[in-house]
Structure formats: C-alpha cells, structure tokens
Amino acid sequence: MIGTILDVQPAPNGTSLDVWLVGGVNGSMKLNIPWCPSLHVHATRQRLQHLCSWLEQPEIRDRFGLGLMRMHRSRLSLDASEVDEVLEIDVHNCLHLKKVATHIESRGQYKHYTLYSVDAHLAQRFLLEHRVKPFQKVRWDGHVFHSEPNEEDEFPDLTIVHMGFSYQTVNGFHSDEAEVERIEFRRCSSDGTCDDSSIPSVTLVRNPNTCASHFLQRLEKAMKEIDPDVVVTHGGDGLHLPALMRMAAKCAMPFSLSRDGRPLEARTSARTIHSYGQTLHKDGYIPLYGRLHIDRVGSFIVREGGLQGLFELARHSQQSPQDISRLSPGSVISAIQMRTAMEDGVLVP
C-alpha cells in the first residue's frame, strides 16, 4: 500500500493504532497496526524489584493489560553522560497507560518512583518508532513503512472544505438550546481559507416539520460524497459539533462524520479555569477519524500560520495535525523538544 500519511489515532480497542493514508491509487486507506507503548520507572533496584513483583500479580496484570517487564538502561536527561537502570513495562492497551502510571505513583507514595514515557502523545511515539512523520509518502509492506520518493517540502493535494452553520434562535444567542437550521460546505484554498460570500458547493437546510434524523442522514451522505480530507470549522469543538451530537442523541441514532464510521464524540471535556484574575475557557476536543477537523477558533497556530504552518509543525513534532492544532505554540515547542530527546535515546516524562 502506497500513500501519504494524513493522521494517526488510537483505535477503539486500545491495542492498535489507525494510520490513514491519502493520495494512493485506491484513495484514502486505513491501516490498523497492532502496537503497545511502554512506560519506564526509575528507583532503587530494591524498589524496582518490589514493584515488578506487585505488577506481576494476576489481578494487577489483567486489570491494566500489562505485558513483559524487564530492566533497561537509558539516559534520563539530555545532559546525562551515563545511563541509569529503569524498569520497562509494556502496556498492551494504550488507553490504560496513564491509569497504570497513576497507580504506580500511588504505590510509591508519590516520592519513591520517577516515571517516564507517560506524557508523550501516543501518535508521536508510534511515528518515532516507525521512523515516519505526517505528510510523508510511504509504502506499507504489512510489517514496516518504507519511504517513497517525494519532494520534502511538498504537501499532498488535499480536499479541504469549510463547514458553516446557521442557527434558529429565540434570543439571537447561539446557546445549547439553539437548533441547527442550515449547513453550508465551501471549498477552501490549500491554506484553509475560503470566501464566505462565495456560493456554497453544498447546502443542507433542515425542515422543522420533519424528524432531525433525516437532516443528519443527509449530512452523513453529503460528507461521504464530498469526502474531504480536512474539515475546517469556526467553533466546531465548542458549538457546532456538540449541537449535532445533541440532535443525534435526541433521535437515538448513531451519527458519524468520520471515514470509518466512528461515532462523533468529544475526546476531552471543556474546561474553565481562573488564573491571575482572568477566567479562561478551553473547549473540548472533537476529532474526526480519517479526516482532520481543524477548529480555527481553538487554534492559534492555524489562525496565525494557516494550514501550511500547521502541517509543517506536525512534521517537525511528528504528531497528529489535528491534535497539535489545539495546542499553544509553547506546547508545540515542547513536543518538538520531546521528539528530539526521544530520537537521542533519552527518556522523557
């Protein structure tokens, strides 16, 4: 299979990752590749031996899906000249990785164990292990990726659309009670911009006299026919996609905008914090699978650098483009530093 890597996301089963390729002879393709991450624990040899014995108990091993455990020697910081001994633990279900880390820290009373390989994004670790990166043209032989000849600075020719929403409201505010009245699709440039005054390529108008399920089914059909690689929204995470999710819940029907039919749902919840006299709000994250959902409202990177800037940062950080689109510039810089450290064989937290 030959194509360009568009995105990498954990599969629902937690024991594999889905790699989406575009630009191939058969269009978009999903590769489901078995993979399990490892976490590392540093402590005295005696404490590591006790920890290993505790983790090998059947009730602990089965609960978290733990695999092989072995002693491993590695550098723990960039300026370290010597290697240290750590316990390396395979976690067969990547969705349990942070749960395992939390229990180990609790077991060590939050002071006896230092954990590594926990915070790095799963997609980043997977891409580093396979020595590939987003928007790289590759060939998959069933076991490993092989790089295919391609211009390094060129990005694939992607289908990019803007998804615009109109609402029917009583007081003029787009609240949770507002109902979607119209959805318009417009083609975007390679940088993710479009002319809002241009004629939409597809317009869907909801009939208030019919069940919302008919509108959602038409939307799913339109998404399959357009088959975009990138969906750009203005407020998709905080307003538009949650509105569609509420409509689907009221109709008790499955609803998906992804290429593999995975239901539309938020990966993270919205958060509001108070800091230095300010109230800061961050919307939840609603990804798509097989497509990139880019919310310009929640992406400083895209607002300032466009899609081309985002894609370039995805290459340098070796992370999912839609994942890092929600990060701050400082967090992306940290991701690039983590990538550099891992390439040098240094364990990161």
* Domain locations along the chain: 2-35+135-141, 38-116, 160-334
DSSP state of 16: E
pLDDT band at 241 (very low <50, low <70, confident <90, very high): very high
| Domains 38-116 and 160-334 are alike in CATH topology | no
Provide the 10 A C-beta neighbour count for residue 166: 15
Q: What is the mean pLDDT of residues 314-329?
A: 95
Query: 83-116: per-residue pLDDT in tens?
Result: 999 999 999 999 999 999 999 999 999 999 999 9
Report the top-level CATH class of 38-116: alpha beta
- Looking at residue 146, its pLDDT comes to 95
Amino acid, res. 308: Q
Query: 176-210: per-residue pLDDT in tens?
Result: 678 899 999 999 999 899 988 899 999 999 998 88
CB 64 within 8 Å of CB 90:
no
| Token pair for 88 | 């390396």
CATH topology of domain 160-334: Nucleotidyltransferase; domain 5 (3.30.420)
Q: pTM for the full model?
A: 0.91
- Looking at residue 81, its pLDDT comes to 84
| Token pair for 125 | 């670790």
Query: 262-278: per-residue pLDDT in tens?
Result: 999 999 887 777 777 77
Least confident range of 39-43, 81-85, 122-126: 81-85
